[in-house]
Structure 1
Protein backbone atom coordinates (compact mmCIF):
# COMPACT_ATOMS: atom_id res chain seq x y z
CA UNK A 1 0.00 0.00 0.00
CA UNK A 2 1.09 3.56 -0.64
CA UNK A 3 0.76 6.24 2.05
CA UNK A 4 -2.73 7.39 0.99
CA UNK A 5 -3.96 3.81 0.90
CA UNK A 6 -2.55 3.27 4.40
CA UNK A 7 -4.32 6.42 5.61
CA UNK A 8 -7.59 5.16 4.15
CA UNK A 9 -7.07 1.78 5.78
CA UNK A 10 -6.50 3.47 9.15
CA UNK A 11 -9.80 5.33 8.79
CA UNK A 12 -11.57 2.07 7.97
CA UNK A 13 -10.04 0.38 11.02
CA UNK A 14 -11.15 3.26 13.26
CA UNK A 15 -14.69 2.82 11.96
CA UNK A 16 -14.53 -0.92 12.65
CA UNK A 17 -13.22 -0.27 16.16
CA UNK A 18 -16.04 2.12 16.99
CA UNK A 19 -18.70 -0.21 15.63
CA UNK A 20 -17.27 -3.15 17.56
CA UNK A 21 -17.08 -1.25 20.86
CA UNK A 22 -20.56 0.21 20.37
CA UNK A 23 -21.98 -3.25 19.68
CA UNK A 24 -20.18 -4.85 22.65
CA UNK A 25 -20.99 -1.93 24.98
CA UNK A 26 -17.45 -2.11 26.34
CA UNK A 27 -13.90 -1.34 25.26
CA UNK A 28 -10.97 1.06 25.42
CA UNK A 29 -11.98 3.54 22.77
CA UNK A 30 -9.50 6.41 23.14
CA UNK A 31 -6.46 4.15 23.38
CA UNK A 32 -7.39 2.08 20.34
CA UNK A 33 -8.02 5.18 18.24
CA UNK A 34 -4.62 6.61 19.18
CA UNK A 35 -2.66 3.50 18.20
CA UNK A 36 -4.52 2.71 14.95
CA UNK A 37 -2.02 4.47 12.68
CA UNK A 38 0.89 2.66 14.33
CA UNK A 39 -0.69 -0.77 13.90
CA UNK A 40 -1.79 0.01 10.35
CA UNK A 41 1.77 0.93 9.37
CA UNK A 42 3.08 -2.27 10.96
CA UNK A 43 0.56 -4.76 9.60
CA UNK A 44 0.02 -3.39 6.10
CA UNK A 45 3.50 -2.11 5.24
CA UNK A 46 6.33 -3.11 7.57
CA UNK A 47 5.98 -6.49 9.28
CA UNK A 48 6.39 -9.84 7.55
CA UNK A 49 3.26 -11.80 8.49
CA UNK A 50 1.12 -14.32 6.65
CA UNK A 51 -2.50 -14.89 7.71
CA UNK A 52 -2.50 -18.31 6.07
CA UNK A 53 0.50 -19.31 8.22
CA UNK A 54 0.08 -17.57 11.60
CA UNK A 55 2.83 -19.74 13.12
CA UNK A 56 5.30 -19.31 10.23
CA UNK A 57 8.72 -19.50 11.88
CA UNK A 58 10.17 -16.58 9.90
CA UNK A 59 7.30 -14.19 10.72
CA UNK A 60 7.94 -10.93 12.50
CA UNK A 61 6.50 -10.91 16.03
CA UNK A 62 4.27 -8.23 17.52
CA UNK A 63 3.58 -7.96 21.25
CA UNK A 64 0.77 -5.64 22.36
CA UNK A 65 2.18 -4.66 25.74
CA UNK A 66 -0.52 -1.98 25.81
CA UNK A 67 -2.94 -4.87 25.94
CA UNK A 68 -6.06 -2.96 26.94
CA UNK A 69 -6.06 -1.27 23.51
CA UNK A 70 -6.76 -4.58 21.79
CA UNK A 71 -9.72 -3.48 19.68
CA UNK A 72 -7.64 -1.99 16.87
CA UNK A 73 -5.45 -5.11 16.82
CA UNK A 74 -8.44 -7.44 16.53
CA UNK A 75 -9.93 -5.34 13.74
CA UNK A 76 -6.66 -5.40 11.81
CA UNK A 77 -6.12 -9.13 12.27
CA UNK A 78 -9.65 -9.77 11.01
CA UNK A 79 -9.14 -7.44 8.06
CA UNK A 80 -5.87 -9.19 7.19
CA UNK A 81 -7.68 -12.56 7.20
CA UNK A 82 -6.36 -14.15 10.39
CA UNK A 83 -9.97 -14.86 11.39
CA UNK A 84 -13.41 -14.01 9.92
CA UNK A 85 -14.49 -10.38 10.27
CA UNK A 86 -17.93 -11.60 11.38
CA UNK A 87 -16.30 -12.77 14.62
CA UNK A 88 -15.74 -9.14 15.65
CA UNK A 89 -19.43 -9.07 16.60
CA UNK A 90 -18.63 -11.49 19.46
CA UNK A 91 -16.12 -9.16 21.11
CA UNK A 92 -16.34 -9.41 24.92
CA UNK A 93 -19.31 -11.77 24.72
CA UNK A 94 -19.53 -14.90 26.86
CA UNK A 95 -17.53 -17.74 25.30
CA UNK A 96 -15.82 -15.53 22.70
CA UNK A 97 -12.08 -15.80 22.19
CA UNK A 98 -12.07 -12.06 21.45
CA UNK A 99 -11.76 -11.00 25.07
CA UNK A 100 -10.82 -7.53 26.32
CA UNK A 101 -7.05 -8.14 26.20
CA UNK A 102 -4.92 -10.04 23.66
CA UNK A 103 -5.61 -13.76 23.74
CA UNK A 104 -3.21 -16.16 22.03
CA UNK A 105 -6.09 -18.45 21.09
CA UNK A 106 -6.69 -15.85 18.38
CA UNK A 107 -4.58 -16.46 15.24
CA UNK A 108 -1.98 -13.71 14.92
CA UNK A 109 -1.79 -12.96 18.65
CA UNK A 110 1.58 -14.06 20.02
CA UNK A 111 1.01 -13.72 23.77
CA UNK A 112 -1.68 -13.01 26.33
CA UNK A 113 -0.92 -9.52 27.61
CA UNK A 114 -2.62 -6.90 29.70
CA UNK A 115 -0.73 -6.62 32.94
CA UNK A 116 1.17 -3.47 31.98
CA UNK A 117 4.94 -3.68 31.97
CA UNK A 118 5.26 -7.27 30.74
CA UNK A 119 5.28 -6.85 26.97
CA UNK A 120 8.80 -5.54 26.55
CA UNK A 121 10.23 -8.35 28.68
CA UNK A 122 8.51 -10.90 26.44
CA UNK A 123 9.76 -9.10 23.34
CA UNK A 124 13.34 -9.08 24.66
CA UNK A 125 13.17 -12.85 25.12
CA UNK A 126 11.84 -13.36 21.60
CA UNK A 127 14.48 -11.10 20.08
CA UNK A 128 17.22 -12.87 22.02
CA UNK A 129 15.90 -16.23 20.80
CA UNK A 130 16.03 -15.00 17.20
CA UNK A 131 19.68 -14.00 17.65
CA UNK A 132 20.58 -17.34 19.25
CA UNK A 133 18.82 -19.31 16.50
CA UNK A 134 20.19 -17.17 13.67
CA UNK A 135 16.71 -16.26 12.44
CA UNK A 136 15.98 -13.01 10.56
CA UNK A 137 12.67 -12.04 12.12
CA UNK A 138 12.18 -8.84 14.05
CA UNK A 139 10.20 -8.27 17.23
CA UNK A 140 7.98 -5.23 17.71
CA UNK A 141 6.22 -4.23 20.90
CA UNK A 142 3.79 -1.39 21.51
CA UNK A 143 3.78 0.16 24.97
CA UNK A 144 1.61 2.82 26.53
CA UNK A 145 3.17 5.90 28.05
CA UNK A 146 1.46 5.38 31.42
CA UNK A 147 3.10 1.97 31.35
CA UNK A 148 6.51 3.63 31.56
CA UNK A 149 5.99 3.94 35.33
CA UNK A 150 6.40 0.13 35.63
CA UNK A 151 9.80 -0.99 36.84
CA UNK A 152 9.82 -4.10 34.66
CA UNK A 153 9.90 -1.88 31.57
CA UNK A 154 13.29 -0.52 32.60
CA UNK A 155 14.69 -3.93 33.53
CA UNK A 156 13.76 -5.11 30.04
CA UNK A 157 15.23 -1.94 28.52
CA UNK A 158 18.56 -2.69 30.19
CA UNK A 159 18.50 -6.28 28.97
CA UNK A 160 17.67 -5.29 25.40
CA UNK A 161 20.66 -2.95 25.26
CA UNK A 162 22.97 -5.37 27.10
CA UNK A 163 22.31 -8.15 24.58
CA UNK A 164 22.64 -5.73 21.63
CA UNK A 165 19.21 -6.68 20.28
CA UNK A 166 19.05 -4.56 17.14
CA UNK A 167 16.24 -6.83 15.92
CA UNK A 168 14.02 -5.37 18.67
CA UNK A 169 11.83 -2.32 18.07
CA UNK A 170 9.92 -0.78 20.95
CA UNK A 171 7.18 1.74 20.25
CA UNK A 172 5.61 4.04 22.82
CA UNK A 173 2.13 5.41 22.14
CA UNK A 174 2.90 8.79 23.69
CA UNK A 175 -0.58 10.34 23.92
CA UNK A 176 0.19 11.79 27.40
CA UNK A 177 -3.08 10.55 28.92
CA UNK A 178 -3.90 7.53 31.03
CA UNK A 179 -7.01 6.33 32.81
CA UNK A 180 -6.61 8.69 35.76
CA UNK A 181 -5.47 11.78 33.83
CA UNK A 182 -2.29 13.31 32.43
CA UNK A 183 0.80 11.11 32.64
CA UNK A 184 2.82 14.04 33.92
CA UNK A 185 0.36 14.57 36.78
CA UNK A 186 0.07 10.89 37.67
CA UNK A 187 3.79 10.05 37.41
CA UNK A 188 6.11 12.45 35.60
CA UNK A 189 7.98 10.74 32.75
CA UNK A 190 9.96 13.49 31.08
CA UNK A 191 12.60 13.64 29.72
CA UNK A 192 11.42 10.29 28.36
CA UNK A 193 13.42 10.25 25.13
CA UNK A 194 16.62 11.00 27.05
CA UNK A 195 15.92 8.21 29.54
CA UNK A 196 15.62 5.60 26.78
CA UNK A 197 18.77 6.89 25.10
CA UNK A 198 20.63 6.68 28.42
CA UNK A 199 19.49 3.06 28.73
CA UNK A 200 21.32 2.31 25.47
CA UNK A 201 18.53 2.47 22.90
CA UNK A 202 18.54 4.31 19.57
CA UNK A 203 15.63 6.73 19.94
CA UNK A 204 13.57 8.10 17.04
CA UNK A 205 10.76 10.60 17.66
CA UNK A 206 7.84 10.77 15.21
CA UNK A 207 4.31 12.07 14.90
CA UNK A 208 2.54 8.80 15.65
CA UNK A 209 -0.54 9.85 13.70
CA UNK A 210 1.44 10.78 10.57
CA UNK A 211 1.52 7.71 8.35
CA UNK A 212 4.50 8.80 6.26
CA UNK A 213 6.65 9.51 9.33
CA UNK A 214 5.68 6.20 10.93
CA UNK A 215 6.47 4.13 7.86
CA UNK A 216 9.81 5.87 7.31
CA UNK A 217 10.89 5.32 10.92
CA UNK A 218 9.71 1.71 11.12
CA UNK A 219 11.26 0.71 7.80
CA UNK A 220 14.56 2.38 8.70
CA UNK A 221 14.98 0.44 11.96
CA UNK A 222 17.53 -0.48 13.07
CA UNK A 223 19.60 2.60 12.28
CA UNK A 224 22.26 1.80 14.88
CA UNK A 225 23.93 -1.60 14.70
CA UNK A 226 23.95 -3.41 18.02
CA UNK A 227 21.25 -1.19 19.55
CA UNK A 228 17.53 -1.81 19.97
CA UNK A 229 15.31 0.93 18.55
CA UNK A 230 12.76 2.94 20.53
CA UNK A 231 10.22 4.85 18.45
CA UNK A 232 8.59 7.61 20.47
CA UNK A 233 5.27 8.02 18.66
CA UNK A 234 3.58 11.24 19.75
CA UNK A 235 -0.13 10.62 19.25
CA UNK A 236 -3.52 12.06 20.11
CA UNK A 237 -5.77 9.97 22.30
CA UNK A 238 -9.09 9.43 20.53
CA UNK A 239 -7.52 10.40 17.19
CA UNK A 240 -9.95 10.75 14.30
CA UNK A 241 -13.04 11.68 16.31
CA UNK A 242 -12.92 15.38 17.14
CA UNK A 243 -15.06 15.22 20.28
CA UNK A 244 -13.03 12.29 21.68
CA UNK A 245 -9.56 13.70 21.06
CA UNK A 246 -7.54 14.44 24.22
CA UNK A 247 -10.56 13.74 26.43
CA UNK A 248 -9.60 11.44 29.34
CA UNK A 249 -13.22 10.27 29.70
CA UNK A 250 -12.90 8.48 26.36
CA UNK A 251 -10.24 6.11 27.73
CA UNK A 252 -12.96 3.45 27.94
CA UNK A 253 -16.06 5.41 27.02
CA UNK A 254 -18.58 3.50 24.87
CA UNK A 255 -20.07 5.76 22.17
CA UNK A 256 -23.82 6.27 22.28
CA UNK A 257 -25.90 5.81 19.12
CA UNK A 258 -25.70 9.54 18.44
CA UNK A 259 -21.95 9.69 19.11
CA UNK A 260 -21.35 6.71 16.82
CA UNK A 261 -23.27 8.37 14.00
CA UNK A 262 -21.35 11.62 14.44
CA UNK A 263 -18.03 9.76 14.50
CA UNK A 264 -18.94 7.81 11.35
CA UNK A 265 -19.80 11.07 9.57
CA UNK A 266 -16.43 12.61 10.56
CA UNK A 267 -14.46 9.55 9.52
CA UNK A 268 -16.35 9.25 6.22
CA UNK A 269 -15.51 12.87 5.48
CA UNK A 270 -11.87 12.20 6.33
CA UNK A 271 -11.89 9.24 3.94
CA UNK A 272 -13.25 11.50 1.18
CA UNK A 273 -10.54 14.06 1.83
CA UNK A 274 -7.79 11.45 1.57
CA UNK A 275 -9.28 10.06 -1.65
CA UNK A 276 -9.71 13.50 -3.18
CA UNK A 277 -13.49 13.26 -3.05
CA UNK A 278 -13.70 9.92 -4.86
CA UNK A 279 -15.07 7.91 -1.91
Structure 2
Protein backbone atom coordinates (compact mmCIF):
# COMPACT_ATOMS: atom_id res chain seq x y z
CA UNK A 1 0.00 0.00 0.00
CA UNK A 2 2.77 2.43 -0.91
CA UNK A 3 1.46 6.00 -0.97
CA UNK A 4 -1.83 4.85 0.56
CA UNK A 5 -4.32 7.57 1.42
CA UNK A 6 -5.62 8.13 4.93
CA UNK A 7 -8.96 6.63 3.87
CA UNK A 8 -7.27 3.49 2.52
CA UNK A 9 -5.33 3.11 5.76
CA UNK A 10 -8.49 3.57 7.84
CA UNK A 11 -10.22 0.87 5.81
CA UNK A 12 -7.26 -1.44 6.23
CA UNK A 13 -7.32 -0.84 9.99
CA UNK A 14 -11.02 -1.76 10.11
CA UNK A 15 -10.20 -5.04 8.36
CA UNK A 16 -7.38 -5.71 10.82
CA UNK A 17 -9.71 -5.01 13.76
CA UNK A 18 -12.25 -7.47 12.39
CA UNK A 19 -9.54 -10.08 11.86
CA UNK A 20 -8.11 -9.71 15.38
CA UNK A 21 -11.56 -9.93 16.96
CA UNK A 22 -12.24 -13.19 15.13
CA UNK A 23 -8.78 -14.41 16.10
CA UNK A 24 -9.36 -13.79 19.81
CA UNK A 25 -12.93 -15.12 19.69
CA UNK A 26 -11.91 -18.37 18.02
CA UNK A 27 -8.89 -18.93 20.26
CA UNK A 28 -10.92 -17.99 23.36
CA UNK A 29 -7.98 -15.95 24.65
CA UNK A 30 -6.11 -12.75 23.95
CA UNK A 31 -5.79 -9.08 24.81
CA UNK A 32 -8.60 -7.35 22.98
CA UNK A 33 -8.57 -3.77 24.29
CA UNK A 34 -4.89 -3.01 23.72
CA UNK A 35 -4.81 -4.63 20.30
CA UNK A 36 -7.73 -2.48 19.21
CA UNK A 37 -6.05 0.65 20.57
CA UNK A 38 -2.71 0.05 18.83
CA UNK A 39 -4.12 -1.03 15.44
CA UNK A 40 -3.95 2.43 13.85
CA UNK A 41 -0.35 2.97 14.95
CA UNK A 42 0.71 -0.40 13.52
CA UNK A 43 -1.27 0.12 10.32
CA UNK A 44 0.36 3.51 9.73
CA UNK A 45 3.82 2.02 10.29
CA UNK A 46 3.51 -1.19 8.28
CA UNK A 47 1.43 0.10 5.37
CA UNK A 48 2.56 3.70 5.22
CA UNK A 49 5.97 4.36 6.75
CA UNK A 50 8.39 1.52 7.44
CA UNK A 51 10.83 0.12 4.92
CA UNK A 52 10.29 -3.64 4.96
CA UNK A 53 9.81 -6.53 2.56
CA UNK A 54 7.80 -9.67 3.45
CA UNK A 55 9.77 -11.57 0.78
CA UNK A 56 13.03 -10.62 2.53
CA UNK A 57 12.28 -10.54 6.25
CA UNK A 58 16.00 -10.47 7.09
CA UNK A 59 16.87 -7.66 4.66
CA UNK A 60 19.71 -5.83 6.41
CA UNK A 61 18.37 -2.33 5.77
CA UNK A 62 14.79 -3.03 6.84
CA UNK A 63 13.27 -0.82 9.50
CA UNK A 64 12.86 -2.69 12.77
CA UNK A 65 9.65 -2.86 14.78
CA UNK A 66 9.59 -4.01 18.39
CA UNK A 67 6.28 -4.65 20.17
CA UNK A 68 7.44 -4.13 23.73
CA UNK A 69 3.81 -4.36 24.86
CA UNK A 70 3.90 -7.89 23.57
CA UNK A 71 0.62 -9.01 25.10
CA UNK A 72 -1.25 -6.95 22.47
CA UNK A 73 0.11 -9.14 19.69
CA UNK A 74 -3.13 -9.95 17.90
CA UNK A 75 -3.12 -6.83 15.72
CA UNK A 76 0.50 -7.55 14.80
CA UNK A 77 -0.21 -11.17 13.85
CA UNK A 78 -3.09 -10.07 11.63
CA UNK A 79 -0.99 -7.40 9.91
CA UNK A 80 1.97 -9.71 9.28
CA UNK A 81 -0.36 -12.34 7.83
CA UNK A 82 -2.14 -9.77 5.67
CA UNK A 83 1.22 -8.58 4.31
CA UNK A 84 2.36 -12.12 3.50
CA UNK A 85 5.01 -12.74 6.14
CA UNK A 86 3.25 -16.07 6.75
CA UNK A 87 0.10 -17.69 5.31
CA UNK A 88 -3.12 -16.07 6.48
CA UNK A 89 -4.59 -19.52 7.08
CA UNK A 90 -2.08 -19.94 9.90
CA UNK A 91 -4.01 -17.39 11.95
CA UNK A 92 -6.48 -20.18 12.74
CA UNK A 93 -3.77 -21.85 14.84
CA UNK A 94 -3.38 -18.87 17.17
CA UNK A 95 -2.73 -20.06 20.73
CA UNK A 96 -3.31 -23.70 19.75
CA UNK A 97 -0.97 -26.51 20.78
CA UNK A 98 2.27 -26.47 18.77
CA UNK A 99 1.58 -23.16 16.98
CA UNK A 100 4.15 -20.49 16.22
CA UNK A 101 1.48 -17.85 16.83
CA UNK A 102 1.53 -17.67 20.58
CA UNK A 103 0.10 -14.95 22.82
CA UNK A 104 3.23 -12.79 22.52
CA UNK A 105 5.61 -12.02 19.62
CA UNK A 106 7.72 -15.06 18.73
CA UNK A 107 10.87 -14.62 16.63
CA UNK A 108 10.38 -18.01 15.01
CA UNK A 109 7.86 -16.13 12.85
CA UNK A 110 9.17 -14.05 9.92
CA UNK A 111 8.79 -10.35 10.62
CA UNK A 112 9.31 -10.63 14.38
CA UNK A 113 12.60 -9.15 15.58
CA UNK A 114 12.50 -10.39 19.19
CA UNK A 115 10.37 -12.28 21.66
CA UNK A 116 8.60 -9.84 23.96
CA UNK A 117 6.10 -10.05 26.76
CA UNK A 118 7.96 -9.28 29.95
CA UNK A 119 7.24 -5.56 29.97
CA UNK A 120 10.09 -3.07 30.02
CA UNK A 121 12.53 -4.97 27.80
CA UNK A 122 11.64 -3.80 24.30
CA UNK A 123 13.08 -0.30 24.42
CA UNK A 124 16.42 -1.56 25.79
CA UNK A 125 16.82 -3.92 22.84
CA UNK A 126 15.65 -1.18 20.47
CA UNK A 127 18.44 1.07 21.79
CA UNK A 128 20.92 -1.67 20.95
CA UNK A 129 19.52 -2.09 17.45
CA UNK A 130 19.60 1.65 16.79
CA UNK A 131 23.15 1.90 18.12
CA UNK A 132 24.19 -0.98 15.85
CA UNK A 133 22.74 0.87 12.86
CA UNK A 134 24.80 3.95 13.74
CA UNK A 135 28.01 1.95 14.17
CA UNK A 136 27.45 -0.03 10.96
CA UNK A 137 26.38 3.08 9.01
CA UNK A 138 23.03 1.50 8.11
CA UNK A 139 20.02 3.65 7.16
CA UNK A 140 17.31 1.79 9.02
CA UNK A 141 15.18 3.17 11.84
CA UNK A 142 13.91 1.33 14.90
CA UNK A 143 10.32 1.73 16.10
CA UNK A 144 9.32 0.46 19.54
CA UNK A 145 5.77 0.55 20.87
CA UNK A 146 5.25 0.42 24.62
CA UNK A 147 2.20 0.41 26.83
CA UNK A 148 1.53 3.35 29.10
CA UNK A 149 1.27 1.02 32.08
CA UNK A 150 4.69 -0.27 31.04
CA UNK A 151 6.18 3.12 31.94
CA UNK A 152 6.23 1.97 35.56
CA UNK A 153 9.12 -0.38 34.67
CA UNK A 154 12.51 1.04 35.69
CA UNK A 155 14.26 -0.52 32.69
CA UNK A 156 12.26 1.77 30.40
CA UNK A 157 13.97 4.78 31.95
CA UNK A 158 17.43 3.19 31.82
CA UNK A 159 16.88 2.69 28.09
CA UNK A 160 15.61 6.26 27.78
CA UNK A 161 18.85 7.56 29.27
CA UNK A 162 20.94 5.40 26.96
CA UNK A 163 19.01 6.42 23.85
CA UNK A 164 19.62 10.09 24.55
CA UNK A 165 23.22 9.56 25.63
CA UNK A 166 24.11 7.88 22.33
CA UNK A 167 22.15 10.47 20.32
CA UNK A 168 20.06 7.79 18.62
CA UNK A 169 17.95 9.90 16.32
CA UNK A 170 17.16 6.74 14.32
CA UNK A 171 15.10 5.47 17.28
CA UNK A 172 11.38 6.15 17.67
CA UNK A 173 9.66 5.15 20.88
CA UNK A 174 5.87 5.06 20.86
CA UNK A 175 3.60 4.97 23.89
CA UNK A 176 0.10 3.58 23.35
CA UNK A 177 -1.45 6.12 25.73
CA UNK A 178 -4.91 4.63 26.26
CA UNK A 179 -4.76 5.41 30.02
CA UNK A 180 -6.01 1.96 31.05
CA UNK A 181 -4.24 -1.17 32.24
CA UNK A 182 -5.37 -4.49 33.60
CA UNK A 183 -6.25 -3.22 37.07
CA UNK A 184 -7.66 0.22 36.25
CA UNK A 185 -6.53 3.62 35.04
CA UNK A 186 -2.83 4.29 34.79
CA UNK A 187 -3.15 7.38 36.93
CA UNK A 188 -4.72 5.39 39.78
CA UNK A 189 -2.29 2.48 39.51
CA UNK A 190 0.90 4.52 39.05
CA UNK A 191 0.55 8.14 38.01
CA UNK A 192 2.46 9.05 34.86
CA UNK A 193 1.54 12.64 34.07
CA UNK A 194 3.18 14.86 33.01
CA UNK A 195 4.52 12.09 30.78
CA UNK A 196 5.81 14.43 28.07
CA UNK A 197 7.92 16.45 30.52
CA UNK A 198 9.46 13.30 31.98
CA UNK A 199 10.67 12.09 28.57
CA UNK A 200 11.87 15.55 27.60
CA UNK A 201 13.90 15.65 30.81
CA UNK A 202 15.55 12.40 29.70
CA UNK A 203 16.70 14.10 26.48
CA UNK A 204 14.10 12.94 23.97
CA UNK A 205 12.20 14.92 21.37
CA UNK A 206 8.59 14.38 22.44
CA UNK A 207 5.54 14.61 20.18
CA UNK A 208 1.99 14.10 21.45
CA UNK A 209 -0.57 13.12 18.82
CA UNK A 210 -3.99 11.58 18.26
CA UNK A 211 -3.09 7.91 17.84
CA UNK A 212 -6.09 7.33 15.58
CA UNK A 213 -5.49 10.26 13.19
CA UNK A 214 -3.62 9.05 10.12
CA UNK A 215 -2.51 12.47 8.99
CA UNK A 216 -0.83 12.99 12.38
CA UNK A 217 0.55 9.44 12.53
CA UNK A 218 2.08 9.53 9.06
CA UNK A 219 3.52 13.02 9.41
CA UNK A 220 5.05 12.29 12.81
CA UNK A 221 6.63 8.97 11.86
CA UNK A 222 7.87 10.19 8.49
CA UNK A 223 9.39 13.30 10.08
CA UNK A 224 11.50 11.42 12.62
CA UNK A 225 14.12 12.46 13.47
CA UNK A 226 12.59 15.91 13.81
CA UNK A 227 15.59 16.95 15.91
CA UNK A 228 18.97 15.57 14.77
CA UNK A 229 20.85 13.89 17.58
CA UNK A 230 17.73 13.17 19.64
CA UNK A 231 15.58 10.03 19.75
CA UNK A 232 11.87 10.67 19.23
CA UNK A 233 9.15 9.71 21.70
CA UNK A 234 5.61 9.69 20.30
CA UNK A 235 2.80 9.78 22.83
CA UNK A 236 -0.04 8.30 20.79
CA UNK A 237 -3.23 9.21 22.63
CA UNK A 238 -5.58 6.31 21.94
CA UNK A 239 -8.83 4.74 23.11
CA UNK A 240 -8.65 1.26 24.57
CA UNK A 241 -11.06 -0.94 22.61
CA UNK A 242 -11.14 1.55 19.72
CA UNK A 243 -13.74 0.81 17.05
CA UNK A 244 -16.06 -1.31 19.20
CA UNK A 245 -18.53 0.95 21.02
CA UNK A 246 -19.17 -1.31 23.99
CA UNK A 247 -15.45 -2.03 24.50
CA UNK A 248 -14.12 1.51 24.32
CA UNK A 249 -12.61 2.78 27.59
CA UNK A 250 -13.79 -0.31 29.49
CA UNK A 251 -10.96 -1.76 31.64
CA UNK A 252 -12.49 -5.27 31.59
CA UNK A 253 -11.82 -5.47 27.86
CA UNK A 254 -8.07 -5.54 28.55
CA UNK A 255 -8.25 -9.32 28.08
CA UNK A 256 -11.97 -9.93 27.63
CA UNK A 257 -12.79 -12.48 24.91
CA UNK A 258 -15.86 -11.53 22.86
CA UNK A 259 -18.65 -14.08 22.90
CA UNK A 260 -20.65 -14.92 19.78
CA UNK A 261 -23.10 -12.05 20.20
CA UNK A 262 -20.38 -9.51 21.03
CA UNK A 263 -18.33 -10.60 18.03
CA UNK A 264 -21.31 -10.28 15.70
CA UNK A 265 -22.14 -6.80 17.04
CA UNK A 266 -18.52 -5.67 16.79
CA UNK A 267 -18.15 -6.93 13.21
CA UNK A 268 -21.42 -5.19 12.30
CA UNK A 269 -20.24 -1.89 13.79
CA UNK A 270 -16.90 -2.07 11.98
CA UNK A 271 -18.56 -3.03 8.69
CA UNK A 272 -20.87 -0.02 9.03
CA UNK A 273 -17.86 2.21 9.73
CA UNK A 274 -16.15 0.92 6.59
CA UNK A 275 -19.27 1.53 4.50
CA UNK A 276 -19.56 5.08 5.80
CA UNK A 277 -15.90 5.75 4.99
CA UNK A 278 -16.28 4.39 1.46
CA UNK A 279 -19.42 6.47 0.90
CA UNK A 280 -17.71 9.63 2.11
CA UNK A 281 -14.68 8.93 -0.09
CA UNK A 282 -16.88 8.27 -3.12
CA UNK A 283 -18.84 11.46 -2.54
CA UNK A 284 -15.65 13.48 -2.26
CA UNK A 285 -14.27 11.90 -5.42
CA UNK A 286 -17.44 12.69 -7.28
CA UNK A 287 -17.38 16.29 -6.13
CA UNK A 288 -13.81 16.77 -7.19
CA UNK A 289 -14.39 15.05 -10.49
- Asked whether the two chains share a fold, i.e. TM above 0.5, the reply is yes
Give me the whole-angstrom Cα distance separating, in 2, the residues matched to 1:50 and 1:214: 21
Alignment map for 1:27-46 (pairs within 5 Å):
27-46=30-49
Match of 2:200 among 186, 197, 201: 197
Give the structure 2 partner of residue 50 of structure 1.
53
Give me the whole-angstrom Cα distance separating, in 2, the residues matched to 1:274 and 1:199: 41
Match of 1:265 among 264, 268, 271: 268
Confirm or deny that 1:167 pairs with 2:170: yes
Scaled by the length of structure 2, the TM-score of the pair is 0.95
Confirm or deny that 1:119 pairs with 2:122: yes
Match of 2:184 among 181, 192, 202: 181
Give the structure 2 partner of residue 133 of structure 1.
136
Give the structure 2 partner of residue 220 of structure 1.
223
Q: Deviations over 1:225-279 (max 9, x none)?
A: 000000000000000000000000000000000000000010000001111177x
Give the structure 2 partner of residue 210 of structure 1.
213
1:11 Cα deviation after fit:
0.3
Scaled by the length of structure 1, the TM-score of the pair is 0.99
Q: Any stretches of 5+ residues in structure 1 without a counterpart?
A: none
Q: Deviations over 1:24-71 (max 9, x none)?
A: 000000000000000000000000000000000010000000000000
User: Number of matched residues?
Assistant: 278
Give me the whole-angstrom Cα distance separating, in 1, the residues matched to 2:201 and 2:96: 44
Q: Deviations over 1:65-122 (max 9, x none)?
A: 0000000000000000000000000000000000000000010000000000000000
Confirm or deny that 1:241 pairs with 2:244: yes
Q: Deviations over 1:148-207 (max 9, x none)?
A: 000000000000000000000000000000000000000000100000011000001100
Confirm or deny that 1:83 pairs with 2:89: no
Q: Any stretches of 5+ residues in structure 2 without a counterpart?
A: 283-289
Give the structure 2 partner of residue 275 of structure 1.
278
Give me the whole-angstrom Cα distance separating, in 1, the residues matched to 2:160 and 2:65: 17
Give the structure 1 partner of residue 103 of structure 2.
100
Give me the whole-angstrom Cα distance separating, in 2, the residues matched to 1:30 and 1:266: 16
Q: Deviations over 1:3-23 (max 9, x none)?
A: 100000000000000000000
Confirm or deny that 1:18 pairs with 2:31: no
Confirm or deny that 1:73 pairs with 2:68: no
Give me the whole-angstrom Cα distance separating, in 2, the residues matched to 1:261 and 1:241: 11
Give me the whole-angstrom Cα distance separating, in 2, the residues matched to 1:199 and 1:183: 21
1:211 Cα deviation after fit:
1.4
1:213 Cα deviation after fit:
1.0
Give the structure 1 partner of residue 285 of structure 2.
none
1:209 Cα deviation after fit:
1.1
